[in-house]
Amino acid sequence: MKKQNILIFLSLLCSTAMTAQNTSDENDTLSVLVNLNEITITGAPSSSRMILSSLPVSAITMSELGNTASGNIINAITVQPGVSEITTGSGISKPVIRGLGYNRLAVVNDGIRQEGNQWGDEHGIEIDENSIDSVEIIKGPMSLMYGSDAMAGVVIMHDVPRSYDGSVAGSFSSQYQSNNGLIGSSLRLGYGKNDMYINGQLSGKVAHSYTNKNDGYVPGTGFSEYAGKVKTGIKRKWGHSNLTASFYNLIPEIAEGERDTLTGDLETDSDNLKSYIIDLPFQKVNHYKLMAENAVYRPLGMIQTSLGYQLNSRMEFEEAKDECELHFLLHTMNYDVHFISKKKNGWQYMYGINGMAQNSLNQGEEVLIPEYRMIDAGMFAMASKSMERWSFNGGFRYDVRHITSDELQEEGVLHFAEFTRFFNSVSGSVGTVYTCGENCSLRLNVARGFRAPNISELASNGVHEGTIRYEVGDNSLNPEYSAQADFGIDVTSRFVTAQAELFANRINNYIFSARSATVIDPEYTTYKYKQGDAFLAGCEARADVRPTRWFSAGVQLSYVRGTLLTTDTNLPMIPPMEFDGFVTAKATQQWKMFRNASLSCSVKHFCKQNHFYDVDDTETETPQYTLLGLSASTDIATDKRTIAEIRVIADNLFDVAYQSHLSRLKYADINVVTGKQGVYNMGRNVTVKVIVPIGRE
């Protein structure tokens, strides 16, 4: 890190303690238990506050999500400090929290863990952004609630609010993006009466290849997406019951980044890169979900049960559109049963069991991972104690995971060896929150996390077209264990809200992939999974200032440094230090039909990432870059109702040519003319969104 970056970092930490934690509206009980917000339990004599969080929790509202020009829901939440994304083109994003991604964090949607072969670099999250009302992010080990795969934290997606007022309500939204011609629309409607409701949603979007000033139009970055959801339920004095069914279809092209050896141009077989017709190679992802959730209120507390089924079908087409090469078919059953006590004498308890069962099949001609079955189970107990200034929370969990992988021989050659692995672990967490004044609080948390190796790390053996490499697993890998400490301060006043976080995380047996000198397929570089002890440390900070009703400004910082202790090298796939700032002006007076008008300017500066994993040329340095954005919004309304909401968002206003350090396309072919390696990210992009409310939503 350069001296000026260190000085900026220290000045921000010393002069500001960053934004107070956002708390969301009362939502599904399971989500609230994870978020540890305040909710009201029906039948209880008064509001019962859930276990106070000693971990940092941030929330993103529907309005904030709508003010981002994103291609998917993960891209939209990266506005939060400490949250970044691994990208492959414009349609695929994977969340990263404090430098940890893939199976090290859990994504929760419709009350259950999202399971869709998330081990892959180019495997995104199969969730429709239009179905999300708000997002909550918990940064830090959440193995206590979710077991394996939640070492980095959890991203919780809340769906649209329910309606019980006896009327039909909803909205129709549409958007257009200038860079890749993205066209998207979504219709949602809901009806409720006599404590019963039903909500429905249909969405769709298409996009052609995106463009930037270094590469021109980038072949293989177009995509189409379609999704739908129906949710119905009943709420009575005894409790509530909900049933959700959804589908999600994504067809993203695969950007290979191959270049002409003479001109340096990106190679393509397409005659028109601005066409919405999907070209080879591409993926086809279908995700189906059925979820039942029930809660029963008892004199001593509440019993909640959840049961879900997910089917994820992921195909890759390389040579023909009617014949897939790779086809993963993943069946997942999720379950959860827990009890939450009422609060008594400042004490509150929660205990239960949850887990999942999986069966993965190969339906394609080629294989990358073997067929396998997995059983996952965990039991946990948590407790909290609230006093005048102090609150304490803690708990423990015991997990077991059993994986059985099948043997596969091809033409007498062993491709996958049969093996069985059993993992078990005890996780725990303890923390405290101290209210040191009316507007200030301090938080401290220590936790132990656990993650079992995924099937790709254990057994992959084949060409993965989406990542442009040959991947080799190791079925002798040990599970990861983390020990993390978090310290935070929150300050809230009339004009300023601020928050600062410091964290340190020691991970034993950290698993990562690195280039290998072994040549298995001469057309692809070989990557093998390794492990060693790792240490990650860093901070997040944010401050918002609101001196007047019409003006607000903010600044935030994210920094994480990851080191592989075994070899004293940097960890791969660690985001660079990032500084963000914004200024917003809102109209205090209405002008005829225009209401709630606002204008915002944002700046995102990514520092040079020179702490990269340079062993065997696995990673390269990433230069610094700065992106400027502008946005404007207004409501069009009459005296009686809002007719429409209009938002215009301009990203990368100066059309900067840049490569994200976490972009998988950064390591594609070298342009022999310019000498630059890989594909660059999207250039200038202007988004127009229109939202038309229906009824009284």
- Element (DSSP H or E) covering residue 441: strand 440-451
SS (H, E, C) 513-551: EEEECCCCCCCCCEEEEEEEEEEEEEEEEEEEECCCCCE
Q: Which band of pLDDT confidence, cut at 50, 70 and 90, is reported for residue 164?
A: low
**Dist CA 352 CA 99 (whole Å):** 30
Q: What is the pLDDT of residue 90?
A: 66
Q: Which domain holds residue 418?
A: 3-695
- The count of domains in the chain is 1
* pLDDT, tens digit, 9 for 90 and up, residues 399-418: 999 999 999 988 788 889 99
Q: Which of 332, 328, 331, 330 is nearest to 362 (CA)?
A: 328
Q: Which band of pLDDT confidence, cut at 50, 70 and 90, is reported for residue 466?
A: low
**How much of the chain, in percent, has pLDDT values that exceed 90?**
56
* pLDDT, tens digit, 9 for 90 and up, residues 579-638: 999 999 998 777 778 888 999 999 999 999 999 988 877 889 999 999 999 999 999 988
Q: What is the rounded average pLDDT of the residues 107-113?
A: 88
- pTM of the entire structure? 0.87
Q: What is the pLDDT of residue 493?
A: 87
* pLDDT, tens digit, 9 for 90 and up, residues 331-387: 999 999 999 999 898 899 999 999 999 999 999 888 889 999 999 999 999 999 988
3-state secondary structure of 672: coil
User: Is 577's pLDDT higher than 90?
Assistant: yes
Q: Tell which wins on pLDDT, 58 or 303.
A: 303
**Burial of residue 523 (number of CB atoms within 10 Å: 0-12, 13-18, 19+):** exposed
Q: What is the pLDDT of residue 467?
A: 65
Q: Mean pLDDT, the chain, as a whole number?
A: 86
CATH number, domain with residue 172: 2.40.170.20
* pLDDT, tens digit, 9 for 90 and up, residues 428-444: 999 999 998 778 999 99
Q: What is the DSSP string of 457-499?
A: HHH-EEEEGGGTEEEE--TTPPPEEEEEEEEEEEEE-SSEEEE
3-state secondary structure of 263: coil
Q: Which band of pLDDT confidence, cut at 50, 70 and 90, is reported for residue 696?
A: low
